[in-house]
Amino acid sequence: MAAPAASQEIEIQPRAERAPAVTPPRVLADSPAAYPERAVREGVTVTVEVILILEIDATGKVSRATVLAPAGHGFDEAATSAALGLSFEPARRGDHAVPSKIRYRYLFPPPPPPAPPEPAEAPKPREPEPAPVPDPAPAPEAGVTVQGDRPPPARVTLTRQEVRQLPGAFGDPFRAIESMPGVTPVFSGLPFFYVRGAPPGDVGYFLDGVRVPYLYHLLIGPSVVQPALVDRVTLHPGGYPARFGRFAGGIVSAETTPALTETHGEGNLRLFDAGAFVETGFDGGRGTVALGGRYSYTAALMSQLVPGLRLDYRDAQARITYDVTSRDRVTVFGFGAYDLLAQERDTGLDVLFGSEFYRLDLRHEHTFDNGAILSAVTLGFDQIHPPGTERNVTDRSIAARTAFRVAAGKRALLRGGADVALDAFRTEKAPYGDPDDPRVQEFDRTFPSRDDLATGAWLDVVLEPVDGVEIVPGLRLDRYQSGQASAFAADPRLAARFEVSPSLRIIHAYGIAHQPPAFVTPLPGLSPAELEGGLQTAFQTSAGVELDLPEEVVASVTAFNNVFFDMSDALGTNADEGGPFDDLDQRSLGSAYGLELYVRRRLTKKLGGFLSYTLSRSSRSFERTSAPSAFDRTHVLNAALTYDLGRSWRAGTRGLFYTGTPIRGEDERNPPFYRLDLRAEKRWSWGKTTWLSFVAEVMNATLSKETIGDREIGPVTIPSLGLEGGF
């Protein structure tokens, strides 16, 4: 069996400025861990990461190894057993050896084929990076404590490995969002969600800190980023870290995969598109280059069904990293997406919907003895041809951000930063529109050519006053300028996690968030110029418990209560009448409260699955009247189950159920909706890392129709047959 690579992340805290300098522990003798035989027997054929917290005594011996997040299939046992065999040069405070705690990572690459290959020497782990490494407490008996960028207390995260097994998601990480608790879909399969009562236009999407205007191609297509480039997707439904701002709803944050110097890649070929991703190193491993993209050939297919109909989409990504020094890394990351839905007519091409966006992010990361700092500049271009119009709207943007983290004591981590964004919106004149048409005038007034400027600064601190208690107070300040109008916002945040026992945790999150008026749905370039009416304001509160159950099952129950002032939610207040550009400046008082239940077992296990249930009520009040939101759904239930059938076969199913929306002016609701998604995969492996899979998948296999307003729509069913492979 080939042994996995291991790496180590260390962050050590100072206690007093004049305390002796601390030297982190250094690996003297490696202890590789082999890919578990149990995992091979259970058909696991994916790269698995196990992160441990190692307690190292003053002699350099590992006294205890604790798994941070269980992976199952024997990986935890293999990593723990191997870690106990590691030998370190101990951490030192001045000239004295001291105990320490560090974060250590074992990475298990895909397993070999059934016939075991010749034993191979495992690559040695990198020596620990000295950042951040400040001074711990001066008392000789005090240990060195890990204190890094931990996950925030209130969030839901799914890794790429898990999303790939989720039926109906087609391996796209962003498609996992609709199955998370607190998320209410506008329409099944569409990437527009209410998150704890906040409308789709108030939900922000970020990729490595860069805003993404929308998630899926042509609304129900695949995600706009190659899945192989996305490592994990996290939903922050409320009370999120202070670094996220300018959105009054939830935050969806995606992180790209770590840059790897070993040549590797993935690709897929499906009925309607093809995609690929490849990455390699250069200059002796100091740099990496990654390329990815997707291209659809749906235009040729659709033309056979509907003559003259064009349906195109494509995306591309490129990333280059280079380690200028051992503490300085420069990254250039560019990505973009293009979508077109049009009808060829005798008079030319009639564009029904078209959009595109591009980002170029230039980033520098520097680590120093007791912290790290990031500086970045992002260039952007967005363009859209809104449906029902004869013009394009563009947005040329430039943004800059900086962020730092620095140890501020043995049990504290200080984080902060600032950012500025300048958007130049330009709206074409309607070439054939009547300037006296009220709809044309309304569009011109709502989306005029203008320049918007937003500046902000934020600060929070991760405090661990005692073991098992984590408190994160924070504050974000923003100033908005749009034309002659301006506004200022102060957003305090507070999150906390209390470990009652090793298996039980209490989690709280509170915060205030502000946002300028938003369009009905998040689309590139469409940002209403309604700042004169003030900012939207959201008060977000939640409290819950999380419990570790037997068989590596984790369950959580969370209660939330959100209030929205001056909310711009044309979708939730005007769903049955008017068009997408009507009454965008209408403001309302919104509220949402409910209960979320989330029970999960990793989808990568032999038997994995989850149950996500949200019980909620969302209402809107304006002009002295109050009514349920047009997309208030009392019950939303997602349940998924995946199973390893053996012989490299895996199958899964997911069910979605939610109650109907209110019928305006009546005490009744539309019929409930349900759908069933199916997925089956057969996998073959060659050598140590090469694999190929045949995947059959269908979203809405039940051919269910859905009622929105007074219209029955569908069935919207997406089948997929394809090959996926990697090396």
What pLDDT shows up at residue 342? 81
Instruction: Give the C-alpha separation, 422 to 380, whole Å.
Output: 10
Residue located via tokens 């007093």: 16
Closest CA to 136 of 16, 279, 30: 16
What does pTM read for this prediction? 0.77
Residue located via tokens 């700092």: 373
For residue 90, how many other CB atoms are within 10 A of its CB?
A: 21
Domain 156-726 CATH (choose: 3.10.20.600, 3.40.640.10, 3.30.420.10, 2.40.170.20): 2.40.170.20
Is the torsion defined by CA of 585, 586, 589, 590 positive or negative? negative
What pLDDT shows up at residue 433? 65
* Cβ proximity of 97 and 59 under 8 Å: yes
For residue 328, how many other CB atoms are within 10 A of its CB?
A: 12
Mean pLDDT per segment of 10 residues, for the chain of length 727 residues?
A: 43 38 78 82 74 85 80 83 87 79 82 46 38 33 36 68 84 85 87 89 92 81 87 87 92 88 90 91 92 84 67 93 92 94 76 89 90 94 83 92 89 93 89 72 82 96 91 96 92 95 93 90 80 90 94 94 90 58 71 95 90 94 82 94 93 95 84 95 87 94 89 86 91
Instruction: Give the C-alpha separation, 133 to 369, whole Å.
Output: 5
- Sorted by where each begins, the domain ranges of the chain are 5-108, 156-726
User: Can you spell out the DSSP letters for 258-274?
Assistant: PP-SS-EEEEEEESSEE
Q: Which residues touch 493 (CB under 8 Å, ≥6 apart)? A: 239, 240, 241, 242, 460, 472, 473, 474, 475, 476, 510, 511, 512
Structural element, H or E, at residue 298 = helix 298-305
Instruction: Give the C-alpha separation, 609 to 642, whole Å.
Output: 6
Q: What's the distance, Cα to Cα, between the start and end of the chain in Å?
A: 17
Structural element, H or E, at residue 401 = strand 393-407
Domain 5-108 has CATH 3.30.2420.10: yes
User: Can you spell out the DSSP letters for 175-240?
Assistant: GGGGGSTTEEESSTTSS-EEETTB-GGG-EEEETTEE-S-SBTTTTS-BSS-GGGEEEEEEE-SS-
Structural element, H or E, at residue 571 = helix 570-573
User: Can you spell out the DSSP letters for 147-170?
Assistant: ---PPPSS-EEEEHHHHHTSTTST
Which runs of E-coded beta strand occur in 90-169? 91-93, 96-98, 100-108, 156-159
* Cβ proximity of 48 and 79 under 8 Å: no
Instruction: Give the C-alpha separation, 408 to 412, whole Å.
Output: 5
- Bridge partners of 706, per DSSP, are 713
Q: What does the block give as tokens for 656?
A: 């979605």
What pLDDT shows up at residue 572? 72
Q: What is the pLDDT of residues 539-559, one digit of tens each?
A: 999 999 999 999 889 999 999
